[in-house]
Structure formats: structure tokens, C-alpha cells
Copies of this chain bind each other. A is one copy, B any other.
Amino acid sequence: MRADAKKNYSHILTIAREVLIEEGADASMRDIARRANVGLATLLRHFPTREALFEALLCTNLDALTQKAGELETSNSPGEAIMSWFREWMTFAQSYRGVVALMAAAHTNPDSALYASCAAVHSASARLLLRAQAEGAARADMNGDDMFGLMAALGWLVDLPSFAPRADHLVHLVTDAILTNRPGNGGKRKGGRKVVR
């Protein structure tokens, strides 16, 4: 990349972050270009789609998030890890209004620039769930898709202003549901080693 292009690239990212935080994830690309003092075509060559722009914007946040997942996998109890993970996700979800809807859509579409990032979050979630299930700390009748689905659903909900105040409580309620073995499957800790801690 040429020096002027490089400079443009990082300047665009800086401004885009500002605009998207102010206006939400569906801000106009034209608006971003305008505020960056750059031609719209220039913005779109650096980031051909909204997803591509977000991929670049989110990589910092997402790296922090997945790294956190790694830490949680070793340091905490499986149950506490699930709760912390969910809360980390909710913080991420509030980085940009509408970002979860964008990621949820990208999750289905392998061509999306956000697909890999979604997959990373998905698999981290699945790993944490599996570990909890192996220890009998999480209900056995759910899978990684369910886990990610609940995260997406609550992550989406939280950027509706009316629901944001109760978000923490809803997360508590849902993680509670994930972590408690309900009567129906409480005896099903088939493969899991007994809770030895």
C-alpha cells in the first residue's frame, strides 16, 4: 500500500468509528466518506461493504473478546466462565448500536467479511459450553448454536433503549437457565466427572 493510501486508510477508520458510534451501525457510507473528507469511491475501495468496514473496526474488540474466552477456559470454574463470557459479549454488543444484527446476519453468509469473526465467537461460545456440560454445570440439552443464539438475541435486545436498563438482569436470568440442570435432565451428567472442586 502506498503511503498516501495508508494514511487515508487509517484516517477513514478513525472517522468511521466516530460516525458509527454516533449514528449506529447503519449510518450512511456517504456520510462517513463526507466526514472523512474523502470521495465515496475511495471509502468503498478500501472497504467494499459495510461488513468489511466493521471487520476492520471490530478486529481489536474481537481479539480482546476471543482472548478473554481463552482465559476463561482455564482460570474460572466452567459455570462462572459462562457467565463472564456472556457479560463480555454484552459489553461488545454495546460497542456500536446495531452491530449484533449485522453479525447475526453475517453468521449465515460465508461471503460476508464478518463471517470469520462470527465463527470465532460462535466456536469460543461452544467450547465454553461444552466444558461446562462436561462438568455437569450446564444443561445437557443445548448446543453451541443455542448458546450463540441466546447471546445474539440478548445482544440485539440491548440496543433498544427501552430494554437496555434490564439487560444485566436478563443475562442473569438466561445464564441461570443455562447453568442449572433442570429436573428433567438433572440426572443426565453422563460423561461428566463429578464436580471435584
Contacts and interface: CB of A to CB of B under 8 A. Distances in A.
A81 to B, nearest CB: 19
B160 A145 contact: no
**Interface residue tally of chain A, by bracket?**
20 to 34
A68 interface: no
Interface stretch (A4-12, A27-35, A36-44, A166-174): A166-174
A149 B164 CA distance: 10
Contact of A154 (B153, B163, B180): B153
Given A108-B161, A169-B142, A182 B176 contact: yes
Interface of A: prevailing SS: helix
Contacts of A154: 153
A105 B169 CA distance: 21
Contacts of A143: 166
Contacts of A177: 173-174, 176-177
A178 B105 CA distance: 28
Contacts of A107: 160, 162
B105 A142 contact: no
A11 B162 CA distance: 36
Interface string A169-197: 11001101110101000000000000000
Given A142-B169, A156-B156, A169-B142, A149 B163 contact: yes
Contacts of A160: 104-105, 107-108, 152
18 contacts: A139-B173, A141-B169, A143-B166, A145-B163, A145-B166, A146-B170, A149-B157, A150-B173, A153-B153, A153-B156, A153-B157, A153-B170, A173-B177, A173-B178, A176-B177, A176-B182, A177-B177, A180-B182
